[in-house]
Every structure is written in structure tokens, then in C-alpha cells.
Structure 1
Amino acid sequence: MSSEDPDRPIIYPLIHPTQFVSPFALLDSLITVARRVSYHHNTSPVHRLILRNVSRRVSLLLAFLEQISTIHSPALLALSDLFVTLQKLEVTMRACARRGATLHTLMKSARVADDLRVSTRAIVTALDVLLPTRAFVLDVDEEEAWDLARLVADQSARASFSTDLSDRRAFDDVVAIIAGFERRVSPDEVALRRVLDRLGIRSWADCVAEVSFLETQIGCEGSGEAKLLSSLAGLMCYCRVLLFDCYECRKTAHRTDNDNDNGVCAIEDLRCPISLELMLDPVTVSTGQTYDRASIKRWMRAGNLNCPVTGERLASTKLVPNLTLKKLIRQFYPKSSKPNPDPNPIRSREDSEAMRMTARIPRRCG
């Protein structure tokens, strides 16, 4: 499988063997994908227990596949189905381990468990076809290999797909935090850190990756799902500023001291008060505050008619381009990317409140 673009939604690029596939080519492909699946269980910070159990069974299945010396035609259909199933397992595991998708994967725990359950049952079905007629459909080098196949079938049939306890706790924490946003209650910092530690999110860059992924998913889901995703994006923006702002500011201050001596504008002066990202299309609102166009439009589309920083009601929703600031950004930070496109208009109230709280978090670094 080709590597995934981190800015694209998760897809399922499955290969379905035809009836004319070479038995040996099919076997080689089965062994290759089984090896990849067996190595994936340690790459995801969530669903570790389920993924580890699935990978262990696939490792036993791999040992069986490596002992096959001849495939007779009656076995091709079952092995083709097994090949498709192993691909589905690999895609699910890749999705769980994908950088930036950790929070999304946690909130999709039920779906992940269902996907793994269905794929595991499909492995059992394929083996149930092969085992009763084993001497007539496959030749294996060692008789013990059939015992491995039976062990995989038996273990898979009895497999449990309950969500890890630590994942359930993190899930509940996220739900409670988002509900707090709706009530305009600031999240408990201890709970935030507990969630991020569980998800393996330990830096500003990790939060940015999560927000970027969630934003790409919003346009691919229905309105109900998009609102949840926007709430999660708001949560990550809030965490990024509250928990990592001070650390990143110190790094930036250290990096830009010499720049300032040479007349270069400090990056802190060029960040949007809402997103804390470099303003690529700065605009000024009626209160005199400047924001990145994408962030303030997202704020207004959520129904907010007050300034995020000052709290004053906006006399007008007109956005005036700040050409001077934009010129400075282009001059001193020419490697900045193109301006973000307008965000999807489907946003949640929780996301709006998270943005409001984010904009008002005191900056703790000078």
C-alpha cells in the first residue's frame, strides 16, 4: 500500500483478486500483508489491547501460510476472501496509528471494535472452509501447520473486542470536557493532561496535526458527525494554547532574539489570537483586533457577534484586510504556506465556546 497523505481522509484501497489470479502470487501477497498486520499492534496509542490480540492471531496465521506449498483451485476463493480481510485489518490498524488521527480514533472506538470484530469473524469463516477439506485444497510442509490454523480459528471465534479501560476513561473525559464547553465551563487542566497523555499528544505540533486531520474530515462527514469533529478540533486548539503555548513561546523567543536584533518581526506578533498560528490572511475587525481571516470567519459563522479577545460586540461584520501586517509576514516568513481556505460552515456550539475560551487564555510567556 502506498503511504497515506496526512492531509487526506482515511480511505480503504482494497485489492480484490480475480478468479484468474495465480495461486502462488496470491499466497505471496497473503504472506506479505499478514506480516505487515502482525507488526502494527505497537504503533497506535489507543486500542492497544484489541490490536495486540488481533496481531497475535495473525502472526499464527502467518506461520500457517508460510507452510503452504501447493494451492488447489477449490481453496482460491477462501484464500482470496482471506486476502481482502487481512487488507481491511491493515487499513484499520493504519487508521488507528495515523499521526493526527488519535483523538478521532478514540471517539470512534465502537466503530473500530466493530471493524476488527467483522474482519476477525471473516478469518474464521475462511478457515472453516479450508480446515474440513484440508487435504484436498492445500498441501502444507508440516502437519503441525494445520494445528496452527485450527488454533487461529478457535481463538478468533472466542475473541473479545471490548474497548480498553484506559480508552473508555479517556473517551468519557473528552465527552465531559466537550459538554463543559457547551455550558461555558473551562475544562480541568488535570483532565486535559490525562487525555493527552493517553493519546500520546505531547507537543504543539501534535495538536496541530490533530486539528489539521479533524478539519479535513469535517467536509467528508454528515452534519451531525461534522459538529462532533468541529468540537474535537476546538478542544485540540484549546489544549494547544493552554498546555503548550508557554513551551513553544520560549522556543520561539530563543529562536527570534537574534532575528529581532536584525529588525525581523517576532512571530508572536504575527499569530492569530484565536488559532495561535501565523496569520496568513490577516484582517481587522471593528474593535481594532486583527485575526486570521479563516479563524474569525469560522467564529462568526458559529453565530458569535462579539470580539473574541475584548468581548465587545462587533459594530460590523466587515473584515478589513491588514495589508501592512500581511506584507510583514510575507517579508519575514516567506516560507509560510498559502492561506487556509474558508472553513466548512458546519460548526458546533462547543467548538465556538472552545474558540472563545482559547482566545482569552492569558499568554504566560513574555
Structure 2
Amino acid sequence: MEEGEMDAAVLVASAEMMLKRLEKAVEEIAAITDYRNAYKKQFCNLSRRIKLLAPMFEELKESKDPIPQRVIEALGKLNLALDSAKDLLRVGSEGSKIFLVLEQDRVMKRFQDTTSQLELALNDISFDEIDLSDEIKEQVELVHSQFKRAKEQFTTTDTELYDDVSTVYHLGADAKVDCAILQRLAEKLQLTTISDLKQESLALHEMVGSSDGDPGEVIEKMSMMLKKIKDFVQTQKPEMGTPTNAKVLYFHGTTKSLVIPDDFRCPISLDLMADPVIVSTGQTYERESIEKWLEAGHDTCPKTQQKLSSTSLTPNFVLRSLIAQWCEENGMDPPKRPAQTSSKPPSTCSASEHAKVVDLICKLSSANLTDQRSAAGELRLLAKRNADNRACIAEAGAIPILVSLLYTHDVHIQEHAVTTLLNLSIFEENKGRIIVSGAVPGIVHVLKRGSMEARENSAATLFSLSVVDRNKVIIGESGAIPPLVLLLGEGSQRGKKDAATALFNLCIYQGNKAKAVRAGVIQTLMGLLTDPEGVMLDEALAVMAILSSHPEGRAAIRTADALPVLVKVIRLESPRNKENAAAVLVHLCNGEQQQQHLAELQEQGMMVPLLDMVESGTDRGKRKAALLLERMNRFLEQQKEAEIQAEAHFQAQMQASTDPSTNAASAVL
């Protein structure tokens, strides 16, 4: 095949691939439906206009005339614009209705940007150079003109709805809300059924995932608002079941409102749990809700966004018993479990086993170091074996004594004590007991001054305890982060992994991010990212991704000159690592110095690797790559405009310098 024929064949293959991408994008957009929110009209119009482009792609596929390179490039821009539109439409279909109203300015800006991107992409297509029927040309030109008009329009949402949402959003969790406002919110947001309310709750949990696992104050306040709406709706419609956090009981013509403890409610459905189960991260959910979450293809814990090491569900019999006891004390029927659930509770410790544990705890308090060492070692092994032992040891009162032993000068006793606490913390009920006992300062003491094994097990213990959100604040304020950063740099491979997972989990809480950055974590992470063996690459990228959302984190990453390393990751590493590297780059290419970073990405030839990510990356990776491509294209367009203006200015100066009349006037003056 000659060179010209080869070029023609490449062009044809390139055109075919691009048309397939465009058709697939329109098909995926057509499959997105149910825009039940304040922007229903805008979402429906955007979707309808895009679907009208499908016949153009079909005709181009059937055309015998080759598509010119210029048109293929224009279709590539259209493909990126369709990806942006697809992301926006998914937000409209699956996203939080409350968030869409609360962030109306940002939402409408995205509408404008997406519409403008589509209009510019269509404008670049030269219809004279492609084989299209007059009917299709007219249809596409009509869509083009509609996009052109739409990008110049800015339609705000219902003002009253926005005011109501803002009012409730800024109230405290315990503040009372006017029933009239709650009524309007339920109706206008279309949150009037159990299905609507559960979908909104799931949408808020999804937002935690898309924000790199950092729920933040905004999502917490929106969850509070949803609870208020749900309580109101269920009070108005008793047939819907138990309200989120209150049950109204009637006694001789009077009412009594009972507040359901937060720990008794499923984090997903917000309902009182009937069949609580524990996932691998230690969090508890209603079985039906977490099963639906897993069936939808998720592999993370909805509350913490940690990756689940297993999808097995362990019945939380202790919590189920506490819920039943609470219901009985308050004159309520306990929630009924689904008929298919047939799990049996695990056996508890026998009398002899309990006696053995009590004997070991007595030896822990002995003045004899040998007895203490032996007892601590045995308890460590017992706590490692099974959940029954963990429950038995904690209930027998071992935790406060183990905490006191964290300060011992005996290295072996200290190691046994902190490792026993680690093993005990695996049992969900023990996490609260360990925190209440004041263990965190002692664990941090071991993390700073213990043997390497004790330090590493301290890090693992802090990770286990920080699975509970409120513990992240307690641990962060205890001074744990600097020694964790130190361990991340100098521990064994296991120790580094324990430190990294603890830091990641703690930094889900926004207030801990600055502490980690100031402790020098970015420099340590850069060392791990550039290590030739790459054994900590996954963990280092995950931690850097979550820190990049903080201003101090971004500044430190820029100072560390991380961009070339992140570019290399996107070219060569696994889809998950590419996703985290792209997440960091998205934050770097926003705000100050974004022009410099976008220019560097352009120089590094990142268009093709990012396009590959959009095609074959993880779901989150696709979103991040598409966002980077959108910013790079906008940057290139701005550069092009600047060059055109500079050239025009230069030509004007040249013309002025050679104009005789100008020269004559200058001579006279």
C-alpha cells in the first residue's frame, strides 16, 4: 500500500471510530430519563436537541465519500461536548434535587458552558465538505441555531423554592421549620413518596463518592434538610411508615414525639433498621438497602467511601437486640425483618471461657511484669480469633486496663496492649467503648515512642477507630497525624500501608487535611510516587487525591512539582491509579496557576491518554479525564484567540507605519 493510500485508510478508520463514539454517546444520553427536579425543562430540551443529531451520524456512516480530516477533528470536539452534556444530564436524572436548587448558579453555568461547547462544535463542522441530505442538514442547522439561542439565555429556578431551600439549609439540626415551608419543599422537589426520598438519600451518598470521599459541611446540611422533609412527609402520610427520627404516639388525646437514636437508623434509607448488617468496613446498614447498593455495582462503603474488601454481610445481632429493647421501652412494635432472613446469632462465650478472660484481666493488673506480659499476650491471641471473644473481653472490662498499659515502659506489654485494642476494635460495638475509655492519647503515645511493631499496630488501630465519622475529629485533634506521616516515610511496607490507610481515612474529614499537609505528607508521598519499586503507588495516589481538594494541599503539590509524575501515571499505570492522578490534576488545573499547568499538559501531549481514559477508564476516571480535556480545549481556544488578536494588532501597527498620510502628519508635527 502506497503512502497516500495508507493515509486515506487511516482517515477512514479514524472517521469510523469517531462516528461510533458519537452514536454511542447519543444512545447513552437517550437512555437517561426522569428529570424530576427544578430544571426539568432545561434538561429535557438539552436531551431532545442532542437526540436530533443522531440521523446525521447515521448518514455519515453510510456515506461513500471520505470525511475530511478537518471535519473529523470537529466531530472530536463534538464528542467531548456530548460527554460533558451526558455528565450534566446524569446529574439531572440521578443527582440530588436539593443540591441542584442550592447550587443554582453553578448548575445554570454548567448549562451555559455545555450548550456553548455544543454550539461551537457544530459551528466548526463544514457541511459543504460532507455528504448529507438537505433534510438532515436543515435539521442539524435548526439544532445549531437552538443551541446558539440557548447559550445566550440564563433562566433561574423558582425564586420561592430557592429561598425555602436556603432558609432550611442554614438552620441548625434541632431548629423547628415552618410546616408551610416543608410542604412547599416536598411538593416542588417532588419528595412526596418513599421511593423519592430514598432516591434523594442515595444521591447524597453518591455525592460523597464524587467528592473524593469528603462529605463536607454542605452534604451534611443537605442530609439534615432531607431528614426534616422526610419527617414532615411521613407525619402527614402515616401509611408511609416510621418517620426518619420521630414516631408520634397518642396517649389520651395528647401526642408524644420519640427521637430515634442515629445509630438505630440506616445511613442509606434513614429508616429504623429491622435487619442491621455489618459490612467489611465496620459500618452497619439495613440489609435491604445495602444489598441494593451492592447490586447496583458499587464496591465501596456508602458512608465512608472505603473500598469493601468483601461483599459479605454480617448480622449485627447486638444492635438488633438494642433496637428491639428501645422499641419495647417506648411502647413501639419493633420493625419486622424480611421473611427470607434466616441467619442465627453467633454463640456467646461459655461460662468457662468468660472465667478465663476475667482471670487474665486480673493478671493484667498484677504488679508482676511477667504475669502482665503473659496475660496481655493471651488476650491479644483471644481477641484475634473471633467476634465472640472480642465481645466477651470488652464486656469483662479489659479495655480501661489495656489503655493504662499503653504507657508502660515494658516494650512487650505495650505491644500486646495496643495490638489487643486493635483486635478488639474490629468488633463494631467495641469502637465506641475504646474511644470512651480515653484510649486515643495512649495509642498516639505508642505511635510516637513505641517499637516499630507497636507503632504500626497503633496506626492500624487508629484506622479502625476512624471508620466512625465522629472519631476522625477526635483522632485528628489528638496529634496523631504527624507521627502517622513519619511512619509513612520510615515504616516497613506493612507499616507504611497502615499509616497510609489511616491518613486517608482521617483526611476524609476536611479539618484534618491541613494538619497532614503541614506535617509534610506531600513530600513523603512524592518519595513514594517516585520510588522505582512502586510498592506504595496505589496508597500514595489515593492520599494525594483526597488532599488535593484542600487549598494548602494543592499549594504543596505544586511546590513539589508533582505534575510530571502524575502525567507518567496517566500514561502507564492501572485504571484506579490513573483515576486518582487525574483527580489531582483537575484540582491543580483550577484557580491560580491553572494556565501554566494546562500549558504543561498540552506540551506533554496528554490529549490522547486522556481520551483513552474517557473511553476505557473507571467511571470516576472518565469524569475527571473529560473535565481535564474540556479545560485544555478551552485553554487552546483562548490561546488561539490571543494569537489572532496579537497578529491583528501587529498588522495594524505595520499598516500605520507604512501609511503615507500617517508619515506626513508625523513629519509636520
In structure 1, which of residues 171, 177, 190 is the aligned counterpart of residue 168 of structure 2?
177
1:135 equivalenced with 2:132 (yes/no): no
Residue in 2 that maps onto 1:243: 233
In structure 2, which of residues 62, 66, 71 is the aligned counterpart of residue 75 of structure 1?
71
Amino acid at match of 1:107: L
Distance 2:206 2:147 in 1: 35
Residue in 1 that maps onto 2:26: 34
* TM-superposed deviation, 1:236: 1.0
* TM-superposed deviation, 1:220: 5.5
Residue in 2 that maps onto 1:148: 139
How far does the alpha carbon of each residue in 1:175-199 deviate from its partner, in whole angstroms, 9 at most, with x for none? Answer: 01223437x6411112112112222
Distance 2:101 2:149 in 1: 24
Greater Cα radius of gyration, structure 1 or 2: 2
Residue in 2 that maps onto 1:303: none
Amino acid at match of 1:152: V
* TM-superposed deviation, 1:86: 0.9
1:94 equivalenced with 2:90 (yes/no): yes
| Residues 212 and 165 (structure 1), Cα distance of their counterparts in 2 relative to 1, 3 Å cut | closer
How far does the alpha carbon of each residue in 1:125-156 deviate from its partner, in whole angstroms, 9 at most, with x for none? Answer: 2222213xx333x221x123323333222221
**8 Å contact 1:109–1:163 — kept in the other structure?**
no
Distance 2:58 2:210 in 1: 40
**8 Å contact 1:75–1:130 — kept in the other structure?**
yes
Residue in 1 that maps onto 2:45: 53
* TM-superposed deviation, 1:89: 0.7
1:118 equivalenced with 2:244 (yes/no): no
Residue in 2 that maps onto 1:206: 196
| Residues 221 and 135 (structure 1), Cα distance of their counterparts in 2 relative to 1, 3 Å cut | closer
* TM-superposed deviation, 1:37: 2.9
Residue in 2 that maps onto 1:22: 14
1:272 equivalenced with 2:261 (yes/no): yes
Residue in 2 that maps onto 1:227: 217
**8 Å contact 1:204–1:245 — kept in the other structure?**
no
How far does the alpha carbon of each residue in 1:216-256 deviate from its partner, in whole angstroms, 9 at most, with x for none? Answer: 5347649998212111101111222232156456757xxxx
| Residues 240 and 251 (structure 1), Cα distance of their counterparts in 2 relative to 1, 3 Å cut | closer
| Residues 214 and 39 (structure 1), Cα distance of their counterparts in 2 relative to 1, 3 Å cut | closer
| Residues 277 and 63 (structure 1), Cα distance of their counterparts in 2 relative to 1, 3 Å cut | same
| Residues 26 and 194 (structure 1), Cα distance of their counterparts in 2 relative to 1, 3 Å cut | same
Residue in 2 that maps onto 1:191: 181
Distance 2:44 2:202 in 1: 28
Distance 2:34 2:335 in 1: 42
Distance 1:121 1:186 in 2: 43
- With normalisation by structure 1, the TM-score equals 0.60
Identical pairs, percent = 17
**8 Å contact 1:60–1:149 — kept in the other structure?**
yes
| Residues 57 and 332 (structure 1), Cα distance of their counterparts in 2 relative to 1, 3 Å cut | closer
- The structure whose RCO (Cα within 8 Å, separation 6+) is larger is 1
* TM-superposed deviation, 1:82: 0.7
Distance 2:342 2:164 in 1: 38
**8 Å contact 2:185–2:229 — kept in the other structure?**
no
In structure 2, which of residues 104, 111, 132 is the aligned counterpart of residue 109 of structure 1?
104
Return 5+ residue gaps in structure 2 as ranges.
1-9, 243-257, 266-270, 278-282, 286-317, 326-333, 344-426, 430-466, 474-508, 511-669
* TM-superposed deviation, 1:93: 0.6
Distance 1:249 1:151 in 2: 50
Distance 1:271 1:188 in 2: 22
| Residues 118 and 195 (structure 1), Cα distance of their counterparts in 2 relative to 1, 3 Å cut | same
Distance 1:238 1:203 in 2: 14
1:162 equivalenced with 2:154 (yes/no): yes
RMSD of aligned alpha carbons: 4.3
